[in-house]
Structure formats: C-alpha cells, structure tokens
Structure 1
C-alpha cells in the first residue's frame, strides 16, 4: 500500500493443557509455551510494530509465590525487545541455579514466565502518544487471585464516553477515558460482582474464607460476566482476557468486524488474529483452525474445560474487508485467492482505459502487498490475450502461415517490476519543500523497460490519501516517459472514516472526499456541503440508534467514475507529462472476491453498528468547523 495505514492490532492466547513436565518430556523443554508465544507474536508483526507485550500465569501456586508476570515494550523492535528481556531473566536464573536445569517444578516456581497460560499482543498506535502505558496487555491487580484481570485486544469502541460515564455512575473513578482501560474496568466491575455473589453463597454453605477461594474460581461464570460487561459495547473487537487463577477467554464482536481464530487438541488451546499464524506455528491443517463466531466467546476454564458461548446476539456479519485487501498475511489460502480475484475482476476497466491495447502496455505493481492482486490482473490479461489469439486463428485459419502463427503465439502480456521501494528515508529536514523532495524518493524505478508509445498500468491494493502517489510514485513513473499511466486500486474508493481500529478517522484526509469536494465547488453545488452539515449538526444529541449517515448525500451528485477522474486530475501535478487515469474496484466486485468479509463501510458508509453513523457525522462536523480532532 502506497499510503501507510495503521491498524489495531494482533492477539495471541495460548493455554497449555498438560503439566509442564509433559512438554519437557515430549519437546525437550518446559519453556515450550514461551517459545510458541514468540513465534505467534513474530508471525503477527505485520499487525503492530509500535508496541508489544506478554503476560503469563502459573497455575496452582502457593500464597506468596509469584504467579503473574508481564513485560511490555514500545522500543523500535518491541517483540524482540520483550523476548530479550524474558530470555535474559531465564538465562540469569539458570546460570545462578544449575539445579533448575532438569527440575521442572523448580523452574516453574522460581523462573518468571514459565507457566501454563499466556497472552501476547502487538500494537499499532492509531492516535495519541506511543507511551508504554498504552501497550497491552493491561493488568488489573488484586490480592484475591480470581479478581486479577489481564486484558488485551484488537479493538476500538465508538462509545467510550458512554462506557466511561457508566463506570462513574456505579461509583468508580477510572484513571483515564481510554477504551482499553474502560473495557477492562467494565469487565472488572462485573467480575467483582460475581466474586462477591459467589463468596456469600460459599459462606452460606459453610465454607471458610480460605476454603471459598478455590470454589469461587471453579464456579465463576465467565460468560455471565461478559454478557453483563458487554451489554452496551459498540465497536469492533476481539477481546482476550486472563483471570489470575487460570480462566481465560477470547470474545469477538457480534458483527465479526475484527478477526479471531483458534485451534485446540489435547495439548493446547491457541487463539490468534490470523489463521496461517496458527497453521505455521503448530503445523496444523487449514480446516483444523476454526473461526470464533461473531458475538461468541471461547472460554477455557482453569481445569481445562473449553466452551464456545454466545455472549451477544450476532448481527449481520460484516467482517473487515481490509483484512483481506491489505492487513492480514497473504499466506492464508483464502486471502491469497481473494486478492488474486480482486486483480482479475478489475481487468475489464483496465482494458477500457488502454483501449484494449495490451501489446503496448506494461503491467506492474506498487510493492509489496499489491503483488498478489497483480498476479490476478496479469492472469486475467493473459486470458484476454489468449482469447484474442484464438479468435484470430479461427478467423484466419485458411490463410494462416507458420511464420504468422509463430509471431502470433510469441505475443505475451508485458510485465515488469517498475516500482522499487527504497529503504525508509528519514525526513530530518523540517522545511516543507526539502521534506517533499525526500518523500518523492521513497520509491525508485527500473529504467529502460518502458517505451514512449507504452501505457503503464500499475496496481495498488488501495488508495487512501493519495499523498505518496502524488509526491513520489507518479513522478517517478513519469520519468520512464510512458504515454499514459493507469493507476489501479484493487479496493473501491475510500469515502468514509473507519472507527473500528483502522487509522482513518478524518474525512478531509481521504482523497475521494477531497475530489468530491472539488467537484461540488466547480459545479456550484457547495450548498450541499452546508445542507449535510446542518443535518449532521441536528443529530448531535440523538441516540446512536436514531442517527442517519447524511454524509452519503455529499457524494450523491456524482458517479464513481466522475470522482475517479477527478482524483486522477488531483494526483497529477503540472510537471507530469503522461496522461494519468485512476481506476477503482467496484463494491460489487469486492463482495464477489471476498464473500466472507462484507464489511465495506469505508466504501459505502453502511456502518455495522449504530456508533458508526455518529462517528461519520461527527467527522463531517469537524471538517466543516475546521476542528482538527478525531471523531471518536
């Protein structure tokens, strides 16, 4: 993707179902869980490089023995940093105490992070400072083992203020209005309630306070706690939690916006944000890795019982389509096929743009995530060319010579790796023109492969702001002297902000919004902007369920092609000689290519939760009033 997008986040939960001695005997080490957690997190580094954290729990520890460990980092390579810290502690203890070497019981008792339950997280900070306090997992501590709560998630809530106020109403004093803290305290509040209720029941049954503690842990109803806590959540989330005594859960939002997959056998239960991560780390088959259903929680009790519980009634499934277009690793079999299909389906629009002149067209892609859709585009172009050859042969079969046939069959679709992404350049000069010159060199080109009579078709997986296209890619492509540059987006036009975890919070930052705004001005329709603002403003104090997305009316006067053409004009600076054409995928084709991930609100404005409509209206109000603030 030429415009970098940040995105929250990646989770990994691992529960070992056997005693640690089992893993020592079978795999040669009691550190099996730590090793697997490193792989689970490293294989998801694409989901977050601003911070990483890991928490572990040791089961059945005696009072006074440490049973929870946590480490977090916001260094430049946070995953490596936290595991260097962990390995440092382990190596230090092993060096000081040789007697630990073959004694698993001593290793567990004395060495941190050697346990049976783990929760890891990788993070992109979509807003605010990237402080260590923002890095998951979050820990809610208590001297009662089962009141300790560790939370990490891939999520964003649209109604943080409402959730915060509900905590204040029950007498709490949260330390900040952040969705992670608010969600953790919400779960914690009902966890405390459940523990209190169970304690009084145990007391009435004749248990002493000490005897009651393990009974409470056994009887804790995690599903009940989650149902009470999540009653008013509005957002996209895959929420993972550990309780100090050893229960754990992963809970997915009812629209299935954020992904979560799991695998279980008699040795482990593992959850991750992406399927191929589990496949690779544990060498299991595609079909053995299951998806947590929307609105459901996978719950693992301390005693190893595993259940799949419905927490909230599922909504129409709107799994994030950007997971398939861009975020998730393309090593997932389904995602790989879907990305190729996105390239294949856009070929007819490309052929129209080049007047079907494939002989004088070079196909390429913007590194690196657009490579798979490029393969689909080229395969479809080759099919088109083969059909053209077949038609010619059938039409001229009586006069066709061997030489003509050889010449015909030698014609191929021309592909080149034209764009090359250079190492990240530091924009250490603050003066605007100097910084722009550095940005212009983020990409380099392969010279000598384009003729002045050629079209250059270059595919990207999506176009968000268009900044890198305008300041770097198009200028570099123009140096090759093509006749025409056709920029192809395998995703549709991004018109609306995201509020479920992707860093697209402001309307004015979207190039499609900028293009529609210019068209409104040019055609004397700016009154529509004022009308949309008035309608959005009038809904400011409505309940979320009553809010309508009036920002759709901002785009209504124009066809998709008109906006695409305007984007092409806006991205072409005066010093570009080639004609520039911009093509976007259609929403219908997106749904054909990615039938299981129908979350398309960034393209259509059809938000899967009521909070989305409030967010998009607030984003428009902020734009109109010149308020440089996030809409949620």
Structure 2
C-alpha cells in the first residue's frame, strides 16, 4: 500500500477530510499465460483501485528477464495511454494498488518489490499486515540483513532468501510459516506465479481463468474487468503455484476454522464483488434493513453518506417505506494534493468532497446512513452541513456496530484512544455528533445480514475484532510495543 505523506500521517490531527472513514487496504492482481500480461494487470488494478490510491506498480517476466515499474498515484495516471505491455513485456505479471498506515510516500516502498535471490529473480506484492514483522526484522538486522524499504513485505523476502533446500515453493512455504497476521501474497519467479493466503483467510485472494490462463486477484470485480471467469477462493493457509503445467496446491498450515475479515462486507469490497459466495451489495442492503428494525427513526427522508453508505440506506428505505434521496453529492475529482494542513482548509475539508443537495433537505427531518463511524470528526462536519442546508432534524445511523478496537491486519484503524465508540457512551456520542438521535447496527444484526448467526460462546466465524476485541492471532509486535513503550513498530514497519 502506498505510504502516506505528512498531510495524511495518522499521527497528526490534520487528516484528509475523508479520514473519519476507514482507510482502504491494498489490492493485488496476478496473471500467468497471456501475452500482454501487464496490460491486463493494469486493467485488473483499475478495478481494485478502491483498495488503495496512493501508489501502484507492475512486475512482469518475458521469458528472459523481469521488468518492473512503480509509481506514486493512481493506476489511470500511470498505466494508461501507451500499452503498458510495451514497457513491461511478458506472459506473466503481478500488480499492486497500495495504501499504507505509516511511513513516507517514497518510491522505494511501492510494490511489487523485486529482488535477485540466489535462485533467480523474484517479485512480490502483498495485501495485509504481518503482526510479528518488526520482531523478525530486528532479528534479521542483528544477523546482518540490509533492508531497502520500511515495508513488512521485505521481511518475507529475507526469510525466503535464507530458507534452505528443496524447490523454490518449499522455500516460500518455509518463509510464510515464520510470519503471522493477515496476508495475501502474489509473487513471480522466472517460471511461476505464486499466490498465498494467511491460515485464517483474513485477507482475500481469488483464482480466476481467462481462456487457458489463470489469474489471482483480491476481488471478483477484477475478473469482471478483464472478462475472466471466477473459479474459487484460495483457501485459508493455501499456497498455489501456477506455471505451464497448470496449478499446484500446497497446504502451508494445518486446516483450522477460517475467519475472513468482516470489513470486506462492511466497507472494503466493491459492491459488485462476490465475497465468500455472497453479494456484497445484497449484504449491505440487508445491513440497512436490519438497522431499520433495530434503530427506527421518525423522519421524512433517508440520505446516504456517499458512496459506501448507499446500499445500507437503500435497505433502510425499502424496509421502512421512507423516501430515499441523494441529499449529499460527492465530488469525485478532488485529489489529496489539494488538501493542505491549514486550519481554514481543515474547516472546509468536507465541503471539498461533499455538497448538500438543498432541495432534498430543506425543511425536512433527515436520517443519515453511513457504513461506520470511526473518529466521528467527519460525521460531525457532515451533520453541520446538512443542518446548514435547512434540515429541521438530523438523525444518524451506522450500518455496522460501534468500532471499539484498533486493527492490526492491514486496516488503517486509529488507536483505541481515537475511536469515538471506545471512549464515549451512546448519549455522549449523540451530543458530540450534534444529532437528534444516533444508532448502530448490532453485532448480531451484522451477522444476520451475512446470513450467519453470531455465536457468542464459540470462536466468531469472521475476523470482527474491531467490534468485539476478539483478535484471531497473536499480536507479537503490538504486545512488545505496549510492554516497552516503543514507537518503532509504528514508524519503521509499515503496513503493506
């Protein structure tokens, strides 16, 4: 994921005005067996752009040598115009769209990362976060390793380089057995496209097919973009190796009950994607339907906070019969570079991206529906904007439960002290957001929307720790940081 610069540094208070939203993770894409593989990879990355907008890169192999190209910024700004395959020839390629939660926006952190190992060239891209990356990195540095980036992805490269014996895939598996956390890797050797998913399936990775060629991607929408057929998900703990002989599957870990990330349904995945066999759009509508049952409101109009609040707001409106209107118009053409860390710009930041549709608001009791509430800062500014447009009442509903715990698996989630629901009662939050009423979807309602029953006594079916505090893996680096008060993890190892 592309490193964030000073303006978007999560340690500051002058975030991008969308900072109250959960920040995207990353997206990965890989293809084997088609000429012009880089061009199709660029198209797949376009479909995954919502997962990371700060940097992008492609690595390809043409049968003789590797080619890599990495840029800061959007896919469309860097891989359009001339055919990317003219610069990046080859029949296999991997791509990455990136967002990080720490570090600086510097090219050396942009993925895919490429290294010359003793086995040959190797390129790798990563979605997720290794929760013991700093601990391993420290051990490697003490043993003489030299790091070129601040990405936890580079830790895996060093582990692969030091692995002993067997085929390359054996070395790769040996390396991922030493790391923990949530991850989806795509990688290239001179013969093979490799995909790997963490043992709990926290981060997504899928297999598709285009003719006789195979594709790996973070979401099904990337297959739709290139005209490929979705085959199946990479299983939790599975490593797949794709070459001229087809696909080989390896089990890197003993099988255990999977726990995919619930935020793919809440926020990350594109509405037209299929996750775990479920339509993301339908699940989000069901969240709104259940939200209407659990937290009704006597209002005149339902307005989504664009864009992620739209499906839930539609579900709320359909359940209640209250009119749905686009009362907030989003400006999709405001770039991050326009946002400057001055008080004047901070105060008007929301208006740069959102404008009130006064004709749908004035004189009405308004219900705002959003996917979640993190800090509450942007939500408050949106509420003020709706009031300024003439609303007589403003009510707010979150289509997910209160976020009370930070993330450690690749989501830019603030520490607990900055999560509004972790520190204030419902009544206090209602006052802080300056709304007439406030409501959240219950954890039971969230699982219901996904067609599941929430099991309180058993291990949860999903990685839902941001709501429940039930972290699915050991948090080795976090625990070390808490024990010694070190800030090294936050600033030296960035999320990929």
TM bracket, shorter-chain basis? 0.7 to 0.9
**2:361–2:386 CA contact under 8 A, matched in 1:** no
* Cα distance, 1:451–1:113 mapped onto 2, change above 3 Å: closer
Match of 2:151 in 1: 178
Structure 2, unmatched stretches of 5+, are 1-17, 453-460
Q: 1:559-601 CA distances to partner (integer Å, 9 max, x unpaired)?
A: xxxx2222111122xxxxxx52111111111112235872111
Please list, as runs of the form range in 1=range in 2, the aligned pairs for 1:486-501 lying within 5 A after superposition.
486-501=395-410
Q: Does 1:474 align with 2:383?
A: yes
3-state secondary structure, aligned to 2:317: helix
Once the two structures are superposed, the pairs formed by residues 155-170 of structure 1 within 5 Å of their partners are 155-168=128-141
Q: Counterpart in 1 of 2:443?
A: 587
1:8 aligns to 2:25 (yes or no): yes
Distance 2:45 2:156 in 1: 23
CA positional deviation for 1:270: 0.3
Give the Cα–Cα distance (whole angstroms) in 1 for the partners of residues 407 and 466 of structure 2. Answer: 6
- 1:176 to partner: Cα distance: 5.4
Q: Pick from 260, 263, 272: which aligns with 1:319?
A: 260
Aligned equivalents of 1:362 and 1:181: distance in 2? 50
Alignment-derived partner of residue 272 in structure 1: 217
Q: Identify the structure with the greater strand proportion.
A: 2
Task: Provide closer, same or farther for how the CA distance between residues 241 and 448 of structure 1 changes in structure 2, counting only shifts above 3 A.
Answer: closer
Select 1:252's aligned residue among 197, 218, 229: 197
Note the alpha carbon deviations across 1:391-433, whole angstroms, 9 max, x for none. Answer: xxxxxxxxxxxxxxxxxxxxxx22222122245387666552x
Alpha-carbon distance change, 487 to 616 in structure 1, aligned in 2, over 3 angstroms: farther
1:168 and 1:447 map into 2 onto residues whose CA distance is 58
The question of whether the paired residues in 1 share the 8 Å contact of 2:31 and 2:193 is answered with: no
Pair 1:446-2:302 in alignment: no
2:91 is the alignment partner of 1:116:
yes
CA distance in 1: counterparts of 2:417 and 2:432, whole angstroms: 14
Q: Which runs of 4+ in 1 moved over 4 A?
A: 83-87, 168-171, 425-431, 616-622, 625-632
Matches within 5 A, 1:355-366: 357=298, 360-366=299-305
Q: Which residue of 1 aligns with 2:174?
A: 228
Q: Is the Cα–Cα contact under 8 Å of residues 117 and 246 in structure 1 kept in the other structure?
A: no
The equivalent of 1:340 in structure 2 is 285
Q: Is the 8 A contact 2:186 2:216 kept in 1?
A: no
The equivalent residue for 2:239 is: 297
CA displacement at 1:483 relative to structure 2: 4.1
1:461 is matched with which residue: 371, 374, 388? 371
Task: Tell me, yes or no, if the aligned pair for 1:506 and 1:631 is still in contact at 8 Å.
Answer: no
TM-score by length of 2: 0.85
What is the CA–CA distance in structure 1 between the aligned matches of 2:303 and 2:483, rounded to whole Å?
36
| Residue 56 (structure 1) shift | 0.7
Question: Does residue 1:242 correspond to 2:188, yes or no?
Answer: yes
- TM-score, structure 1 length as denominator? 0.67
Asked if 2 retains the 8 angstrom alpha-carbon contact of 1:160 and 1:178, the reply is no
Contact 2:186 2:194 in 1 (8 A): yes
Give the corresponding residue for 1:140. Answer: 115
Distance 2:200 2:174 in 1: 18
1 CA distance for matches of 2:97 and 2:216? 14
Structure 2 CA distance for partners of 1:437 and 1:133, relative to 1, 3 Å = same
Structure 1 gap ranges (5+) = 21-29, 62-66, 91-111, 199-219, 383-412, 516-562, 573-578
Q: Write the deviation string for residues 261-295 of structure 1: whole angstroms up to 9, x where unpaired.
A: 112366201000001221341253xxx43100000
Query: Aligned-pair distance for 1:170?
Result: 5.6
Paired with 1:380 and 1:73, the residues of 2 have a C-alpha distance of 45
Whole-angstrom CA distance in 2 between matches of 1:565 and 1:619: 31
Aligned-partner SS, 2:135: helix
Summarize deviations over 1:127-165 as a string: whole Å, max 9, x none. Answer: 1111100100111115x6x43211111121111122114
Q: 2:50 maps to which residue?
A: 46
For 1:248 and 1:36, locate their aligned partners in 2 and report how far apart those are by CA, in whole Å: 15
d(CA) in 2 for partners of 1:449, 1:141: 59
Shift of 1:447: 2.0
How far 1:58 sits from its partner (Å)? 1.8
Q: Which has the higher helix share?
A: 1
- Bigger RCO of structures 1 and 2 (CA < 8 A, at least 6 apart): 2
Matched residue of 1:346: which SS?
helix
RMSD: 2.9
2:325 maps to: 416
TM-superposed CA distance for 1:514, in Å, is 3.5
